[in-house]
């Protein structure tokens, strides 16, 4: 996790709320999309765990009020991910076509998308777990597809003492030692940082 990661969540509020009055803020979403598309082929879902404003919002804002329940396994399924990805992308394209290329209207489409997904993420984060949205986030799914097996966690079995501290800090509720190639790993490094035996490391 980067030093700036905890502070990026404010950007979600700025775009989702202030964007209703200043649609130009919606274009920030294009910066986000562009950045993750550049990073994901090299590091998979690294963006999710380090630079994603919504991820930061979930980890450091929603986490304070979350009921911290177990994330339902069905939400991790491609049967959920793919339809949601197609539905959201299709809706966004449809709305963009209706703008007829008008600058402010295009910006407002992105603002509404940000606001809607933030509301969903907040509700899921409160009633289930902070990162529930991230298990089926369309952008997270796309990053995994583009990154495949890049930048995976590597376990040094001879050093691991099975203390499970890594599992406890994983925001995606993964059993880290059993999920080294898990598509939901967001490369946040928390498991690496807390390991008392330095048994975990990223493999390029």
pTM of the model: 0.91
What is the mean pLDDT of the segment spanning 118-124? 97
Provide the b/e sequence for 161-200 (b: ≥16 CB within 10 Å).
Answer: eeeebbeeebbbbbebbebeebbbbbbbbbbbeebeeebb
DSSP class of residue 153? E
Q: Is residue 48 a contact partner of residue 121, using CB atoms and an 8 Å limit?
A: no
What domains, with CATH codes, occur in the chain? 5-147 (no CATH), 152-203 (3.30.70)
CB–CB of 47/39 below 8 Å?
A: yes
CA-to-CA distance for 183 and 185, rounded, in angstroms? Answer: 6
pLDDT of residue 179: 64
Q: How far is CA 83 from the centre of its chain?
A: 18
Q: What is the DSSP letter of 18?
A: I
Q: For 64-86, what is each residue's pLDDT tens digit?
A: 999 999 999 999 888 898 899 99
What pLDDT does residue 148 have? 78
């Amino acid at each position: 996790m980067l030093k700036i990661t905890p502070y990026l969540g404010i950007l979600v509020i700025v775009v989702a709320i202030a964007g209703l009055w200043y649609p130009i803020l919606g274009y920030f979403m294009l910066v986000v999309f562009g950045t993750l598309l550049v990073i994901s082929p090299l590091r998979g879902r690294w963006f999710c765990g380090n630079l994603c404003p919504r991820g930061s919002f979930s980890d450091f804002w929603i986490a304070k009020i979350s009921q911290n329940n177990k994330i339902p396994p069905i939400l991790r399924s491609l049967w959920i991910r793919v339809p949601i990805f197609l539905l959201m992308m299709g809706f966004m394209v449809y709305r963009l076509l209706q703008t007829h290329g008008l600058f402010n209207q295009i910006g407002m489409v992105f603002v509404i998308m940000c606001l809607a997904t933030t509301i969903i993420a907040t509700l899921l984060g409160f009633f289930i777990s902070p990162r529930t949205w991230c298990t089926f986030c369309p952008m997270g799914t796309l990053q995994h597809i583009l990154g495949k097996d890049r930048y995976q966690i590597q376990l040094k079995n001879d050093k691991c003492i099975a203390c499970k501290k890594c599992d406890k800090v994983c925001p995606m509720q993964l059993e880290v030692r059993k999920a080294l190639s898990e598509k939901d790993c967001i490369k946040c490094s928390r498991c690496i940082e807390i390991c008392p035996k330095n048994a975990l490391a990223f493999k390029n």
